[in-house]
Amino acid sequence: MNPVSEAYRSNHLQPNYIFPLDFESVEDVVPDSHTWNSPLNMFDIDESSEHVIKSVAVPVIDLDDPNAVKLLGQACETWGVFHVMNHGVPLNLIKDIESESRRLFSLPTEQKLKAIRSTGGVSGYGLAHISKFFPKKMWSEGFGIVGSPVEHARKLWPDQEDDYFRFCDVVEEYQKEMKKLCERLMSLMLSSLGINTEDPNWTGSTGEPKDAQSLLQLNSYPVCPDPNMAMGMGPHTDSSFITVLHQNGPGLHLHSNQVGWVEVPPLQNALIVNIGDLFTILSNGRFVSRIHRAGVNRTRHRLSVAYFYGPPMDVKVSPLMKLVDPDHPPLYRSVTWNEYLAIKAKNFDKALEMVQIEDGKSIA
Ligand SMILES: C=C1C[C@]23C[C@@]1(O)CC[C@H]2[C@@]12CCC[C@@](C)(C(=O)O1)[C@H]2[C@@H]3C(=O)O
Ligand SMILES: O=C(O)CCC(=O)C(=O)O
Ligand SMILES: [Fe+2]
């Protein structure tokens, strides 16, 4: 038996939605399992606009601009997505994480499957978690890294010490820079809401400062013989406070009820920032977590690197007191990131509604 089918077979206890397509064996048609030609009917998106992608410029914010705080606030309230320039992340590090990611996804399928994510796990190789909500599979593969990349690298490059160390060094440096950037962005965005936080750490019930949690997600979208029939990553909102994204080519689309699908092209030297559901809760609905998706293309292997930044897992997130008054009652109940992920794992596109307060009560 070929080693790839053997790996799939020996992992038969894994739910099917974790396994990406074996892209090495794809010829010139999109298999039925990956053909997205039926209406999805999620997030109440008008599916007649599915293939119409408009180019409307999303905000570009220069962190060196003296008006950055005000501009960030406006972008978060209207778009929920923006490009950020002068972000302080070394540009050669962004190139390096992209090439490490390319090296990882270029490994033989058999090797990548050695680092397959466990059921219910977050770290390792596999299809994005949201895959289980869609009737068809997504044209992508992903790799999640929480904390140290060492265990993964050992499985991926067991006998190549140089490859192993290079991957770990770049991932660790990128995680460090992303954490710094996210702390800075969070503080600027909170300032735009009139909240001043000197200390980016979170204080739990014990009074001990706690560190934010994060996940580094490498996404790969192999070339596709019929891009109009396939979907790289289905429509979703992120759960984080914020997500910082690097993409090596066009493919990110965001959705607005007024405009429909909008292309977010890569901008040189910029990173993309996305507001996640937990920031919508924290800001009492002022900041928008925008529905987005990733398309695929015929000629270019697209890569994206997403850094999800959120609160410590056991810290409750609720609308900030300063944003709540008789005219602005709390719109959401308090939840930890873990609780919210569990609600999202069951209710997906309805998760934010489930923690909404109506008449003083929430549904979930
Ligand atoms: C912490 C998390 C955010 C995430 C769900 C998860 O538990 C682990 C994977 C994350 C990720 C990465 C790819 C896109 C995404 C929507 C998905 O399917 O898995 C996000 C999730 C999210 O933001 O909800
Ligand atoms: O690849 C992209 O452009 C989008 C990826 C994404 O939305 C995610 O990882 O949450
Ligand atoms: Fe996303």
CA distance 138 to 159: 32
pLDDT at 23: 87
pLDDT at 262: 94
CA of 138 to the centre of ligand 2 (A): 12
Taking CA atoms, 159 is separated from 7, 155, 156, 308, in Å, by 20, 9, 9, 31
pLDDT at 17: 80
Question: What are the structural domain ranges in the chain?
Answer: 65-311
Q: Ligand 2: which residue has its CA nearest to atom 3?
A: 252
pLDDT at 313: 81
208, 314 Cβ separation under 8 angstroms: no
Is the model's pLDDT at 243 over the cut of 90?
yes
CA distance 91 to 147: 22
Q: Is residue 19 helix, strand or coil?
A: coil
pLDDT at 145: 98
Q: 């109940």: which residue's tokens? A: 333
Helix, strand, coil: what percent of the chain each, to 5? 35, 20, 45
The strand order across the sheet containing 292-294 reads 53-54, 260-264, 252-256, 292-294, 233-236
pLDDT at 119: 85
The finding on whether 278 has its CB within 6 A of some atom of ligand 1 is no
- Closest among 230, 12, 49, 225 to 136, alpha carbons compared: 230
What distance separates the 2 farthest-apart alpha carbons in the chain? 67
Q: Is residue 78 helix, strand or coil?
A: helix
Q: Ligand 1: which residue has its CA nearest to atom 1?
A: 215
Q: Ligand 1: which residue has its CA nearest to atom 6?
A: 122
Q: What is the pTM of this model?
A: 0.93
The tens digit of pLDDT for each residue in 168-223 reads 999 999 999 999 999 999 999 999 999 987 544 555 555 666 789 999 999 999 99
pLDDT at 7: 40
CA of 254 to the centre of ligand 3 (A): 10
Parallel, antiparallel, or unpaired: how do β-strands 292-294 and 252-256 relate?
antiparallel
pLDDT at 47: 66
The tens digit of pLDDT for each residue in 291-308 reads 999 999 999 999 999 999
The answer regarding whether domain 65-311 maps to CATH 1.10.1040.10 reads no
